[in-house]
Structure 1
Amino acid sequence: MNENNSAPMSAGTPADDGMRPMPKVNTISVNDVIDALAAGLGDFRRAPVYGLCIGAVFALGGLFVVLSAAALNISYLSYPAAAGFVLIGPFAAVGLYEVSRRLNSGETLSWSKIFGTMWAQKSRELSWMAFVVLFIQIMWMYQVRLLLALFLGFRSFASFQEFLNEVISTPEGLMFLAIGHVVGAVLSLILFSLTVISFPLLLEEDRDFITAMITSVRAVVKSPVPMIGWAFTVTALLIVSMVPAFIGLVVTLPILGHTTWHLYRKCVTIPEECGR
């Protein structure tokens, strides 16, 4: 399947979305995901500095979250906090989407242009997606606290090691771990479905964020095997990347970000009357 090579929009506002055709959602295959991954790797090789810098900032953010939990004597929340932090990956990858967009449209790359595009999103619909991500992240942390109370009682732990020992050595702890991961997987899948296409779509198109989220969910529903397979791949790579003090995210995040851009271009076709 060929990628949609239409350029990003400059005209139109979200207010007139009701009069504009919905983006067309294409059916993709596993091979399309593989092609998108190859293209993402290509973008990373063509502009490694941008990817490495954005990845490093994200990795430092994750490390800060974990260290903050330890400093506040809630080290037992380090693991769920770190996992929850990864949920903001799509938002952090906006700069990477812009790098891929510019590379594929032949536009020049510079930090001023990348940061300028990212800063411009504050007054566009993409900024509303931050609230969607934040809402899911709050739900994530609340379900962790609720399950902790249900299975381990209303108590704190002196260290992450003590918490880990309790979780893996008691029936209650193992139940907390199992149910917590199931609930977390459901929340992650919901967030993935809402954002995998909506973030790059809002960056390229002047659409309202509701339309973008609907389009994203439609893309997942239309091609469930490759899209959910990609979701599991992203999750596995992020978990592995987090293990060595988030260092792996420096490389993993940019590759995943670039790949997601190309996956979006394969999944969505913008009607001619909506393009530039």
Structure 2
Amino acid sequence: MTNKTDGLPASTGIGAPQIRVLTFSDVRASLGDGWADFKAYPGYGLYFGAIYMLGGLLILGFLTRIGSPWMIIPLAIGFPLLGPFVAVGLYEVSRRRRMGEPITPKGVLAQVFYQRERQLGWMAFVVMFIFWIWVYQVRLLLALFLGFKSFSSWDRFVAIVLSTPEGWGFLMVGTLVGAFLATVLFSTTVIALPMLAEREVDFVTAMIGSIATVVKNPMPMLGFGFIVGTCTLVALLPAFAGLLLVLPVMGHATWHLYRRATSPSG
């Protein structure tokens, strides 16, 4: 069913869906389906991946301009937190392919912009809020552990962090705090974002449903999160270029995992 005025697809359901029990086989199948979607429509994946990559390069350029290029390391670690929201367009490609609907640039982009008028916009605030918490806690930990150290480049920053007791403390505490924030954001968004893109639910309901999915399936869901996070971090190393492949594949895979994790409520 489509909207006659703009060709946008109507939501497939109203209210939160039921949550299914998942296994690692579902995770593997979702990753395989994500790769299949990317191979079938690589142009869309490369387009959205390029936007994500460009964002990383712009951040690096800005930090270099203000004389703080070393900040790219903590920012790059937190950068994957924004990935799920950037992948909304990929969810639409996977949805249309699954439903056998035409996949056109106009239709996909129209659906992406249409989300601004729906609950998905509120999720953007949640994602950005947690990202900024990450940025500020990094600066706080820097002040607490390395406040009396001097580093004007990322090389100097890495050297201090890896060769001093203060740096080791910063790494240990920063890793624990970062892992906690990443787990919170992953749990609240991994199912919520594709759910909001597909169904007529409010963002709080979607977040509760996402958390419930992780609580009901902790090992498969956190395993999927570990795979996504690890692949994304590795993709950042070659000047963010790896995001051209990793973001679309993981974005498509997230959609398929959402479909496996939920069933219509009626």
Q: Same fold (TM over 0.5)?
A: yes
- Separation (CA, whole Å) in 2 of partners of 1:8 and 1:167: 51
Q: Which amino acid in structure 1 is aligned with residue 215 of structure 2?
A: V
Q: Which amino acid in structure 2 is aligned with residue 48 of structure 1?
A: P
Kindly indicate whether the alpha-carbon contact (under 8 Å) linking 1:75 and 1:157 is maintained by their aligned counterparts in 2.
no
Cα deviation, residue 212, structure 1: 0.2
- Separation (CA, whole Å) in 2 of partners of 1:269 and 1:167: 47
What does 1:258-273 align with in structure 2 at a 5 Å threshold?
A: 258-272=252-266
Cα deviation, residue 110, structure 1: 1.0
Cα deviation, residue 10, structure 1: 6.4
CA RMSD of aligned residues (A): 1.4
Cα deviation, residue 102, structure 1: 0.4
- Separation (CA, whole Å) in 1 of partners of 2:105 and 2:160: 47
- Matched-pair identity in %: 47
Kindly indicate whether the alpha-carbon contact (under 8 Å) linking 1:125 and 1:209 is maintained by their aligned counterparts in 2.
yes
Cα deviation, residue 76, structure 1: 2.2
Tell me whether 1:44 sits opposite 2:38 in the alignment.
yes
- What is aligned with 1:159? 153
Cα deviation, residue 48, structure 1: 0.7
- What is aligned with 2:100? 106
Between Structure 1 and Structure 2, how many residues are aligned? 258
Cα deviation, residue 56, structure 1: 1.3
Q: Which amino acid in structure 2 is aligned with residue 41 of structure 1?
A: W
- Separation (CA, whole Å) in 2 of partners of 1:106 and 1:140: 40
Q: Which amino acid in structure 1 is aligned with residue 161 of structure 2?
A: V
Cα deviation, residue 156, structure 1: 5.4
What does 1:22-33 align with in structure 2 at a 5 Å threshold?
A: 22-33=16-27
TM-score (norm 2): 0.94
Q: Which amino acid in structure 1 is aligned with residue 245 of structure 2?
A: V
Q: Give the 3-state SS of the residue equivalent to 1:207 in structure 2.
A: coil
What does 1:213-228 align with in structure 2 at a 5 Å threshold?
A: 213-228=207-222
Tell me which of 8, 11, 15 is aligned to 1:9.
Answer: 11
Q: Which amino acid in structure 2 is aligned with residue 172 of structure 1?
A: E
Structure 2 residue runs without a partner (length 5+): 1-8
Q: Which amino acid in structure 2 is aligned with residue 50 of structure 1?
A: Y
Cα deviation, residue 264, structure 1: 0.1
- Separation (CA, whole Å) in 1 of partners of 2:110 and 2:172: 43
Cα deviation, residue 67, structure 1: 2.0
Kindly indicate whether the alpha-carbon contact (under 8 Å) linking 1:66 and 1:81 is maintained by their aligned counterparts in 2.
no
- Separation (CA, whole Å) in 2 of partners of 1:186 and 1:262: 25
Kindly indicate whether the alpha-carbon contact (under 8 Å) linking 1:44 and 1:255 is maintained by their aligned counterparts in 2.
yes
Kindly indicate whether the alpha-carbon contact (under 8 Å) linking 1:27 and 1:222 is maintained by their aligned counterparts in 2.
yes
Tell me whether 1:67 sits opposite 2:68 in the alignment.
no
Kindly indicate whether the alpha-carbon contact (under 8 Å) linking 1:148 and 1:154 is maintained by their aligned counterparts in 2.
no
Structure 1 residue runs without a partner (length 5+): 1-6, 13-19
Kindly indicate whether the alpha-carbon contact (under 8 Å) linking 1:66 and 1:82 is maintained by their aligned counterparts in 2.
no
Tell me whether 1:240 sits opposite 2:234 in the alignment.
yes
How has the CA–CA distance of structure 1 residues 154 and 210 changed in structure 2, closer, same or farther, with 3 Å as cutoff?
A: farther
Kindly indicate whether the alpha-carbon contact (under 8 Å) linking 2:13 and 2:199 is maintained by their aligned counterparts in 1.
no
